Amino acid sequence: MTKPVSKAKPAPAPVAGHNAVPLKLRVPEPKARPGQPADFSHMTFPAAGATRRPDVSSKSDDMRDLAYGLVRVLDESGTAVGPWAPKIDPEVMKRGLRVMMMCRVYDDRMYRAQRQGKTSFYMKGTGEEAVTAAAALALDDSDMLFPAYRQPGLLFVRNWPMLDMMNQIYSNAGDRLKGRQLPVMYSAKDAGFFSISGNLATQFAQAVGWAMASAISGDTRICATWIGDGSTAEGDFHHALTFASVYKAPVILNITNNQWAISSFQGIAGGGEAPFAARGIGYGLPSLRIDGNDFLAVYAATQWAAERARTNQGATLIEHFTYRMEGHSTSDDPSRYRAADERQKWPLGDPIERLKQHLIKLGHWSEKEHVQQQEDLEKEVKDTQRQAEAIGTLQSGEKPHPSTMFEDVYKEPDQRLRKQRQQFGF
């Protein structure tokens, strides 16, 4: 005998009059597409110096405005103004300028090397140099970094050898990562620089774990991490904020909002109704939105957040408002999805030009020195490139030994890996 199957009632029909208006889906769209003039008129910023600087012990609730504003220090004339203007040694600024210029020269040379077929891939960080250089200089060299992939400046600040980085780009015999990783996915443990992942956002939550470990261990070192605007949509972004907030982890959570995630403008990642920084508020994290093209604003905000972290007051979320001046990578063509004159019209300028102007204004720098430094850096990068290429490029020269392919899967290769290595001929 079969049992009767219970029959449910049919779903109710929509109630007439309740939802008389047909629902509509909103898909955010950027202001301009190719063929149209770039339009940044919707972006309004407080003047440099206008934003208050709360005490580092402030609660998230008492500084909500900071997540919606924009901390700016350098004004149009290149003067540092307002409460956020940091006390900073001109030598540190000069160092920052040099690192930013080095990033740009390095990016250009490596990009060109890819175009010449010497490697498979490259990603530039043009326009975002201050986000990296100023933060690294404001931290201690012993602090830990969980970076994203457009940040060679972190390694330059920590005097990591450029030759080592180029060897990674070329996957040559000098590459400490044994040719395993896509170019720019560096790892430099001795520089406190975590292995970069190709899988977006993963580092953000891991950084919180490192910071928790530092706290568990009674250490004094703090941690900083970076994520792209687009990548904030990943679950790992939210995991990071949850853990950082629950455990008051000594970590600085940086969002590099360069307006684009490949072809998607920032509205696709966040809806565009609130700044990315404002996401921290819901987690009770003090959150700042700052001018990411302003070296001094980045420096000051990082110092502020570092002080909080070092004094057991927990994590800070910082949104660096900046602009990706170039394509996403060597595989990308931005003219297919964004207005051609965006770069020219970007309202927050070029971080290198702005710091240069400031230093000149202070009398610590000159056009002549600038030109000279540019030449020196070009020479330095070119010479290093020659050394790297003398070892090898992806297509020629000396490579890591092929049998190394079977190493580091585990601490010791297991029986099947030993067998496969033998089959392979070693």
Return residues touching ligand TPP (CB under 6 A): 150, 198-200, 228-231, 258, 260-262, 324, 328
Q: Which is nearer to other proteins, 180 or 370 (CB)?
A: 180
Q: Answer yes or no: are the C-beta atoms of 173 and 132 closer than 8 Å.
A: no
Q: Is 230 in the site for other proteins (CB under 8 A)?
A: yes
> DSSP assignment of 188-227, as one string?
BGGGTBPPPPSSTTHHHHHHHHHHHHHHHTT----EEEEE
Helix 90-115 × helix 162-170 angle, to 10°: 20
- Rounded CA-CA distance 174/314 in Å is 40
- Rounded CA-CA distance 262/275 in Å is 19
Q: Which is nearer to ligand TPP, 207 or 359 (CB)?
A: 207
Distance of closest approach, residue 242 Cβ to ligand TPP, in angstroms: 19
Q: Is 268 in the site for other proteins (CB under 8 A)?
A: yes
Q: Which does 182 bind (CB under 5 to 8 A by kind): Mg ion, other proteins, ligand TPP, none?
A: other proteins
Closest C-alpha to 224, from 158, 161, 166: 158
Q: Which is nearer to other proteins, 119 or 303 (CB)?
A: 119
Q: Which is nearer to Mg ion, 214 or 293 (CB)?
A: 293
Q: Which is nearer to ligand TPP, 73 or 123 (CB)?
A: 123
Under the rule (CB under 5 A), what is the footprint of Mg ion? Answer: 228-230, 258, 261
Taking CB under 8 A as the rule, which mask of x and - marks residues 233-262 in contact with other proteins?
xxxx------------------------xx
Contact residue for other proteins among 58, 197, 373, 374 (CB under 8 A): 197
Only one residue has tokens 């970590």, namely 251
- Rounded CA-CA distance 213/203 in Å is 15
Taking CB under 8 A as the rule, which mask of x and - marks residues 68-107 in contact with other proteins?
----------------------------------------
Give CA 406 to chain center in angstroms: 32
Q: Which is nearer to ligand TPP, 185 or 213 (CB)?
A: 185
- Rounded CA-CA distance 344/215 in Å is 45
Q: Which does 33 bind (CB under 5 to 8 A by kind): other proteins, ligand TPP, Mg ion, none?
A: other proteins
Distance of closest approach, residue 243 Cβ to other proteins, in angstroms: 17
Taking CB under 8 A as the rule, which mask of x and - marks residues 110-129 in contact with other proteins?
----------xx--------
Distance of closest approach, residue 337 Cβ to Mg ion, in angstroms: 13
Contact residue for other proteins among 82, 179, 286, 327 (CB under 8 A): 179
Q: Which is nearer to other proteins, 269 or 317 (CB)?
A: 269
Near other proteins in 335-364, by CB under 8 A: 336-337
Q: Answer yes or no: are the C-beta atoms of 155 and 376 closer than 8 Å.
A: no
Residues forming a β-bridge with 224: 145, 252
Closest C-alpha to 183, from 283, 114, 98, 81: 114
Q: Is 405 in the site for other proteins (CB under 8 A)?
A: yes
Q: Which is nearer to ligand TPP, 103 or 215 (CB)?
A: 103
How many amino acids of this chain bind other proteins (CB under 8 A)? 47
Q: Answer yes or no: are the C-beta atoms of 78 and 354 closer than 8 Å.
A: yes
Q: Which does 100 bind (CB under 5 to 8 A by kind): ligand TPP, Mg ion, other proteins, none?
A: none
> DSSP assignment of 50-118, as one string?
-S----TT--GGGGHHHHHS-B--B-TTS-B-STT-----HHHHHHHHHHHHHHHHHHHHHHHHHHTTS
Please say whether the dihedral angle defined by the alpha carbons of residues 272, 275, 276 and 279, taken in this order, is positive or negative. Answer: negative
Q: Which is nearer to ligand TPP, 80 or 350 (CB)?
A: 350
With 0-12 CB in 10 A as exposed, 13-18 as middle and 19+ as buried, what is 165?
Answer: buried
Closest C-alpha to 97, from 134, 147, 126, 127: 134
- Rounded CA-CA distance 23/15 in Å is 14
Q: Which does 25 bind (CB under 5 to 8 A by kind): Mg ion, ligand TPP, other proteins, none?
A: other proteins
Q: Which is nearer to other proteins, 78 or 272 (CB)?
A: 272
Q: Is 27 in the site for other proteins (CB under 8 A)?
A: yes
**Which residues are near other proteins by CB under 8 A?**
25, 27, 29, 33, 120-121, 171, 175, 178-183, 185, 197-201, 230-231, 233-236, 261-264, 268-270, 331, 336-337, 394, 399-400, 402, 405-406, 409, 416-417, 420, 424
